[in-house]
Amino acid sequence: MPVQAIATSPGVAPSRELQLGRIRVHLISEVGTISGAIEEMSPSDVRIYAEEALPVGSLVTVRLAPEGWECQFDANGVVHRAEQLADGTDLGVFLSEPLSEELISACWLEMRRELRYGVVWAAWARPESQKKIVAATILNYSYSGVQLRLPYQPQPGEQITLLTDAPIATATVRWAAPYGPNQYFCGCQMAKSDGLKLALRVQLATNS
């Protein structure tokens, strides 16, 4: 079920619209609490700028406190991205449950359907239409999708298993377009559990 609001005091009704910059955020983990600011948000994923870092794979409670609201929102999640910046860290957190409809509606002008994270990561693909494993490049991923570069043109609806030393995720092709000689871009949909596994595998490999 969606994340519900937790009242902090009675009284003031929230405004109908809310800017992301007016949402205070705290990430609570077993190592303590860090503060940050929302960069981007979707119903099931948040990007946060924080002055301190958290390791990829950390289990956290994301506490969102909109300015001027008499409530806050707690959501459990997993840190799937931690990119060091010059003066802080860019964190990505996949949420275990969608945010509340109340918060989504208030942020509708800036709410994204899904957040996409750019990477360039080599893997292997085992397409159901091919008798052999082919090289693949992961170009970006989201909570439930991935964009690939492949040496052949996949067909919509085709199943592709992504793997390194072991299978990581199964993706279903939704579209494909030529990129160059014997190269094609394709967008794929994944189960959300596979999206998390892929994100953790990619980020742990690139940050090691």
pLDDT value for 20: 62
Residues 87 and 163 grouped into a single domain: no
Residues 13 and 64 grouped into a single domain: yes
The pTM assigned to this predicted structure is 0.83
Instruction: Report whether 113 contacts 149 (CB < 8 A).
Output: no
Residues 139 and 97 grouped into a single domain: no
Residues 19 and 82 grouped into a single domain: yes
* Distance separating alpha carbons of residues 66 and 57, to the nearest angstrom: 26
Residues 203 and 160 grouped into a single domain: yes
Q: Is 49 exposed, middle or buried (0-12, 13-18, 19+ CB in 10 A)?
A: middle
* Distance separating alpha carbons of residues 17 and 26, to the nearest angstrom: 21
Residue 59 lies in a domain: yes
Q: What share of the chain is helix, strand, coil (3-state, %, to 5)?
A: 10, 50, 35
Residues 78 and 36 grouped into a single domain: yes
Which residues are 148's β-sheet partners?
138, 186
pLDDT value for 8: 46
Residue 66 lies in a domain: yes
User: Which of these three, 57, 82, 106, is where a domain ends?
Assistant: 106
Query: How many beta carbons lie within 10 A of that of residue 142, not counting itself?
Result: 24
* pLDDT one digit per residue (tens) for the chain, 208 residues: 455 444 444 444 444 455 666 788 999 999 999 998 888 999 999 999 998 899 999 999 999 988 878 888 899 999 999 998 888 899 999 999 998 888 888 888 888 999 999 999 999 999 988 878 999 999 999 999 999 999 999 999 999 999 988 889 999 999 999 988 889 999 999 998 888 999 998 888 877 6
In the chain, the amino acid numbered 56 is V
Closest CA to 48 of 20, 15, 29, 69: 20
Residues 130 and 89 grouped into a single domain: no
* Distance separating alpha carbons of residues 34 and 156, to the nearest angstrom: 43
Phi/psi region, residue 32 (left: phi>0; alpha: psi -120 to 50; beta: rest), is left
Residues 22 and 44 grouped into a single domain: yes
Residues 93 and 130 grouped into a single domain: no
CATH code (residue 190): 2.40.10.220
Residue 112 lies in a domain: no
pLDDT value for 7: 43
For residue 20, give the DSSP letter: G
Rounding to the nearest 10 degrees, give the CA dihedral for residues 29, 169, 154, 148.
30
* Distance separating alpha carbons of residues 149 and 137, to the nearest angstrom: 5
User: Which of these three, 83, 106, 129, is where a domain ends?
Assistant: 106
For residue 166, the enclosing domain spans: 117-207
Residues 71 and 155 grouped into a single domain: no
